[in-house]
Chains A and B, each alone.
Chain A
């Protein structure tokens, strides 16, 4: 293994994937600072997300995981610091801005509407109208078309358990709801998909399904940021792991170079990562 400057800065590059990390990061943050009154949320955090990788973000409660993600997806606006998307500086004022730039977020609370059906949820706030005057004058929705394409999106992710797109979301299990939320992000996220604790409320089997979907997203060429408390899940799917501690980045490791115990040790401050970071 060659020791490039890149490698030091990012705590190692996963073996066999060197070519990904020679590219420009799809999403980059430098020196993000956000404060809430006298509480420091982020204290100069850097983050790099490369095309086609799964970057896990781990950290203890209050380490600033969610705050960091919210700054990247427009839910919060950082007090200072820069965010670039494909090298271009971006300034997200609200979640809609990030979404329009190609960054989709699956929130912990899923943001699905129980009373609406699956297709309506997938296309919520992105509805497609019928062609011709029915759509342009009467603003009539293309229900059939959206239902068909929703079915396609769900199938693309290899989700077998959901068949009927006109089924209300409230009739689905927790894992299936998560699948709907992920399918929505996958269908519309052109660059980055952010998943906030996607397996927190799920059983073993359903968690496995969601992790498979995360791999599917990566295989489609999307970059994924995965926030999780579940170390086995992180070590299973992540290419690199960003460790957040006390509002800053304690370091970035890979599942190959560090084991879970070491990751947790860095996360809790019991161990320091070698090298400048």
Chain B
């Protein structure tokens, strides 16, 4: 009397999976695969489309262009992991950059001091966001929408709306634009700093109690509080650390663009959010990996860079980024619906 008795459900479980279902299954088990796959597709497409795309020098430039967004997206990721959102990323970075540059302009202040004040200011700006979210209990969207305007205005008022060119700045502020070459492939110290930020933050998120609390607060704040997680302290710390990272991004941006400009990088907010979302982090909080964000930032920049190498206009590149976001999130939703 062995295996002749089969239920309809058992029959269903043994059904043949279509190749598409098998792909879906694999992606479900390894969520970082889908952005990686997307990146791979983009590389293959541009390799075919543009002869100069997959060369050592092009790759170096691609990484340099990715550095600032990738750095900002680290701060954005930890904020989004707590089910928040930060619309003030770009504003904090620009404010920090203009303060650094103005203080140090024509040796008014030693570079190291100007840098420290700029990064500290960005940290304080992040802490202000955190304070408003945790103590005044305002939604992060509203808080950062407000501070976006406030910080942008202060940056413009403080700098008088004028750019400061790199040759008026001390070497330290330009340092992250320097680098070293491996053949045609050129790495800047800014890229090295970005890699460091990812390594440190990745470690903190995955290996420490603080990292677990970030996920816990984002996933279910009430349960986290009842379990003894100091939710408000964690939230405040997250916004503050995010501010610190935006300050470092400001330093990277000066090196990258060779100037401090009050209207630099206008789409920093959306670019950072796009990188996080494409990287598979849930906007509802509690789910996501930092490595996904890095891949997400690379995808956005690869698309921009690849299309410009193929001679596609700026407007079309923006359009492509928009489509990419929607496709990426749609694919993500499809993967989550997997039948296990």
By a beta-carbon cutoff of 8 Å, the part of chain A in contact with chain B is: 95-96, 99, 107, 109-116, 120-121, 124-127, 129, 138-141, 143
CB of A147 to closest CB in B, whole Å = 13
Whether a CB of chain A sits under 8 angstroms from the CB of B232 is no
Majority SS at the chain A contact face:
loop
A141 partner residues in chain B, CB cutoff 8 A:
207-209, 212
- Determine whether the beta carbon of A115 is less than 8 Å from that of B212: no
Given contacts A111-B226, A115-B215, A139-B210, list 20 more A-B pairs with CB under 8 A.
A96-B228, A99-B228, A109-B222, A109-B223, A112-B220, A113-B215, A113-B216, A113-B223, A114-B220, A114-B286, A115-B286, A116-B216, A124-B212, A125-B213, A125-B227, A125-B229, A129-B209, A138-B203, A138-B208, A141-B207
- Determine whether the beta carbon of B208 is less than 8 Å from that of A124: no
Query: Given contacts A96-B228, A113-B286, A115-B287, is CB(A139)–CB(B220) below 8 Å?
Result: no
Q: How many A-B residue pairs have CB under 8 A?
A: 65
CB of A89 to closest CB in B, whole Å = 23
A110 vs B224: C-alpha distance in the bound complex, in angstroms? 10
> Contact string, B195-225, partner A, CB cutoff 8 A, digits 1/0?
0000000010001111011011001101110
By a beta-carbon cutoff of 8 Å, the part of chain B in contact with chain A is: 203, 207-210, 212-213, 215-216, 219-220, 222-224, 226-229, 286-287
Closest to A114 in B: B219
A116 partner residues in chain B, CB cutoff 8 A:
212, 215-216, 219
Query: Given contacts A113-B223, A115-B286, A140-B207, is CB(A120)–CB(B212) below 8 Å?
Result: yes
CB of A87 to closest CB in B, whole Å = 26
A58 vs B295: C-alpha distance in the bound complex, in angstroms? 55
CB of A84 to closest CB in B, whole Å = 23
A-B contact pairs, 29 of them (CB 8 A): A95-B226, A96-B228, A99-B228, A107-B226, A109-B223, A111-B222, A111-B223, A111-B227, A112-B227, A113-B215, A113-B216, A113-B223, A114-B219, A115-B287, A116-B212, A116-B216, A116-B219, A120-B212, A124-B212, A124-B229, A125-B229, A126-B228, A129-B209, A138-B203, A138-B207, A138-B208, A140-B207, A140-B208, A141-B209
B220 partner residues in chain A, CB cutoff 8 A:
112-114
B219 partner residues in chain A, CB cutoff 8 A:
113-116
- Determine whether the beta carbon of A127 is less than 8 Å from that of B209: yes
- Determine whether the beta carbon of A124 is less than 8 Å from that of B227: yes
- Determine whether the beta carbon of B226 is less than 8 Å from that of A127: no
| A115, A127, A129, A140 interface centre (most CB from chain B within 10 Å) | A115
B203 partner residues in chain A, CB cutoff 8 A:
138
Quick one: which of B208, B213, B222, B286 contacts A139, CB cutoff 8 A?
B208
CB of B322 to closest CB in A, whole Å = 29
A119 vs B223: C-alpha distance in the bound complex, in angstroms? 16
- Determine whether the beta carbon of A125 is less than 8 Å from that of B286: no
A121 partner residues in chain B, CB cutoff 8 A:
227
A121 vs B224: C-alpha distance in the bound complex, in angstroms? 10
CB of B211 to closest CB in A, whole Å = 9
Closest to B208 in A: A139
A129 vs B222: C-alpha distance in the bound complex, in angstroms? 25
- Determine whether the beta carbon of A139 is less than 8 Å from that of B216: no
Closest to B286 in A: A115
